[in-house]
Structure 1
Amino acid sequence: MTNLRPLDQLLAGARAPLGSHIQLDLGHDAGPLAELTELLTRMNGFTAFNAGVQVFHAGTAGLGPELGRWNEPSTWKNTYAGLADGLFCFGQDLFGCQFGVINNREVVVFDPETAERTPIGAGLDDWAAWLLEDPPVRGAHQFATAWQDEHGALEHDQRLIPLQMFTMGGTYDFDNLVAKDAVICMRIRGPLAQTIHDLPDGAQVHLMTDRAPAAKPGSKQLAYAELDVFADYNSFMVQDETARFEPDRAWTRALITDMIAAREGVIGVGTARRTTVPVILDVRSEAPDDDFDGWDHVTEAGLHLESGKVIVSMLDYSTAVPRTAVPVGDYTARVYAKGFGTISSDGMHGDDFYHVVLWPGSIQDPFILKPYPEPLSPG
C-alpha cells in the first residue's frame, strides 16, 4: 500500500462508482482536468472516509450531484455573485466545502461560507495526499462516522449545514447541524459569502439584506423567526400547532391561482418553487405600512391561533419543526413574496423569498393585494 501513489491509496478505500461507466472528455490533455477525466473514466464518482468526501459522477445516470450540472452557474454559483467564477468543482466534503480546479492549474478547497480558496497543490495526487495526511479533519471521516451512527447515512444528494454558521460562531455539535439538499446548502450560503468575503476579522455582519415591510410608529415585534421551509407541492402552511387539515381540490386550486388559501387555524402559501425556500415569520402588534414596492406578490388572510404556537411547514408536525410562541387570538396574515423573476425553467432553482407578517386583527377571507403579472416557471 505504501508504494501506491496517493490517489490510488484514496481509491483503494473508496466506495464506488456513483455513476455508469463513461468515456469523459473535459477538453484538456494535461493538468488537473485531464487527471479528472482519467479518474472519472476509471471510476465514475465515489465516496471516501465513510462518505466524509464525495467526488461527483459525470453523466445523467448516477447518485448524487452530476459534475456538469453542479458547475452550471444557475445551480448555485450565481448566488455567490462572481466569487465562485473560474472554479470547476469536482467534489465536496461532508459540510459542502468544495474541491475544485482553478484555470486547470491549481487544486483548491472552496469555503462555502466565506468563498475563500485554499490552495492544495497542482494535481489530484496532491489533493489525495492532502486528504490522507489528516482524514479525521480534512476528510471529515470522524464526524461522518459519528453522524451516521447517530442519525443514519446521508442521501447522496445531501450535505450538512449549520443552523448558526461556523463563521458566526456556530459549533459542530449535532444540535447545530441539519441535513439538506446539497444545492440548497450552497445557495443558502452564497449571500452570506457575498456579505463577509472582504470583511476584516471581527467585523459586524448584518445578514438580512432584504428590506422588511415597514412598521407603523409604535408597533412592537411580538415574535420573529428565520426559517428554511420545504415547500412540497409548491406551497407551505402557516398554522396553529394544534390545527390539522388535509388539502382538498379547492385548496389546491386557490394556491395555484392566488397563491393563498385559508381554513380554520391554517393559511396556505403558494411558492414559486417546490423545494426548500427561505421564510421569515414576523409577528407584530400593528399592521405594516401598505408599501409593496420591491415585492412581486402580496396576499392577505385571517388566522386564528388557539394554542399560542405557530408552525411553518408542509404537513409536518414532528418535534423537529420549530414552534414560534405568539399571543393567543385572531390575526391578519400578510404574505410578501419576491424573486419570482429568478426562477429556473425547471422550477427548482431561484432566489424567491417569503416574509409572513402577522398582527392582531379580525378573521377575513384570503385576497390578493398585489398580483404577480407574469406566469411562473413550472414547478
Structure 2
Amino acid sequence: MQGIRSDRSGKMKYWTFFLVPCILILLSFSNLAFKSKPSGKYRLDFFTKHNQFYLCDSAYKSNTGSDTFWTPEAYHDKLGVDYDILGIGIESYGHVKADLEILDSADPEKDFSRYDHVVEAGITIQSGLLQVLNFPDYKSYLKLIITPGKYRVRVYSSGLNNVDPEADEGQDHYKITMWADSRMDRKVLKQFVKK
C-alpha cells in the first residue's frame, strides 16, 4: 500500500509541476490578447471642479500647475497638454458627462457639424494603465489596462451654448476617442464660438 501511495504522490507532483506552468502561460496569453485589443466604450458620469478633468498615465510625472500647461491657448482650445497627461476643459463647472471610446484605428469621423468644439492631441501611456481623474482631488473615476505607447486623443464637445460656467449642471456632453498614434501636437479641428 505504501508503494501505491508514493506512486500516486509522485504522479500528483508530476502533474502539479507540469500544469502550473501551463496555466500561467495560458493566463499570460489571455492577458496579452486583452492588452492588444483594449477597444471599448466607457461611460463617464462624475463631479469635478473648475471646469476641468484629466486623462493620464497612472504614473504621470507632468505638472498640471505649471505655467506651460493651462496656458491662455490651452484654455481657448479646451485642452491642456503634456507628455503623459491631458487636461480636458468642460463648459459646466463640475458635472462631467462623457463617453470614452478606445479605438483599434484612427478615428474616421470628418463631419463635425453636430459638435460645438473638436480638439485633439497626443499622450504617452508608458505604464499601460490609463486613468480618468477629477480636479482638484485627482480622484480616479476610471482605470483601463491598455497597450503601453503613444496615443492620439480627440475630444468632441456638444451642448456648450447656454451653459453657465459657474453652475455644476449644464447641457454639455463630451465624446472622447483614443487610438494608437505617434502625433503629439495639439490641433483644433473645430473652434467653439459662444452665440
Same-fold call, TM cutoff 0.5: yes
* Cα deviation 1:59-88 (Å, max 9, x = unaligned): xxxxxxxxxxxxxxxxxxxxxxxxxxxxxx
Cα pair 2:38 2:145 within 8 Å, conserved:
no
Report what 2:45 is aligned to: 228
The one-letter amino acid paired with 2:92 is R
Return the letter of the residue paired with 1:314: N
**2:69 matched to which residue of 1?**
251
Partner of residue 92 from structure 2, selected from 268, 273, 287: 273
How has the CA–CA distance of structure 1 residues 233 and 317 changed in structure 2, closer, same or farther, with 3 Å as cutoff? closer
Q: State the secondary structure of the residue aligned to 2:86.
A: strand
CA 1:261–1:345: 2 relative to 1, 3 Å: closer
Q: How far apart are 1:221 and its partner, in Å?
A: 6.8
Q: Which amino acid aligns with 2:100?
A: L
Paired residue secondary structure (2:69): helix
| Contact 1:342 1:352 survives alignment (8 Å) | no
Deviations 1:337-374 (A, max 9, x none): 10101313744331101111001101322121100122
Percent identical among aligned pairs is: 26
Cα distance in 2 between the residues matched to 1:252 and 1:286: 29
Give the gaps of 5 or more residues in structure 1. 1-219
- 8 Å Cα contact 1:260-1:367 kept in structure 2: no
Structure 2 CA distance, aligned partners of 1:344 and 1:306? 37
Alignment of 1:60-79 (within 5 A): none
Correspondences of 1:95-134 after superposition (within 5 Å): none
Question: Residue 310 of structure 1 aligns to a residue in which SS?
Answer: strand
Change (3 A) 1:370 1:242: same
Structure 2 residue 123 is matched with structure 1 residue 306: no
- Which has the larger share of strand? 2
Which consecutive residues of structure 2, in runs of 5 or more, have no partner in the other structure? 1-36
Equivalent positions of 1:204-223 (< 5 A) are 222-223=39-40
Q: Is 1:260 aligned to 2:79, yes or no? A: yes
TM-score by length of 1: 0.38
Aligned ranges for residues 35-184 of structure 1 at < 5 Å?
none
Cα distance in 2, alignment partners of residues 221 and 321 from structure 1 = 18
Cα RMSD (Å) of the superposition? 2.2
On the 8 A contact 2:47/2:95 being kept in 1, the answer is yes
CA deviation string 1:225-248 (max 9, x = no partner): 111233322111110111143322
User: What is the alpha-carbon distance in structure 1 between the residues aligned to residue 46 and residue 68 of structure 2?
Assistant: 23
Q: Which structure exhibits the higher relative contact order, with contacts defined as CA atoms closer than 8 Å and separated by 6 or more residues?
A: 2
Aligned: 1:337 with 2:157? yes
1:321 Cα deviation after fit:
3.0
**Partner Cα distance (1:321, 1:277) in 2:** 11
Question: Does structure 2 retain, via aligned residues, the 8 Å contact 1:309–1:323?
Answer: yes
Tell me which stretches of 4 or more aligned residues in structure 1 moved more than 4 Å: 315-318
Deviation string, structure 1 residues 80-123 (Cα, Å, up to 9, x no partner)? xxxxxxxxxxxxxxxxxxxxxxxxxxxxxxxxxxxxxxxxxxxx
Q: Is the contact made by 2:95 and 2:169 (CA closer than 8 Å) also made in structure 1?
A: no
Instruction: Compute the TM-score of the two structures, normalised by the length of structure 2.
Output: 0.71
In 1: Cα distance, 2:50 partner to 2:98 partner: 16
- Code of the residue aligned with 1:270 in structure 2: it is G
Tell me, in whole angstroms, the C-alpha distance in 2 between the residues paired with 1:348 and 1:262: 24
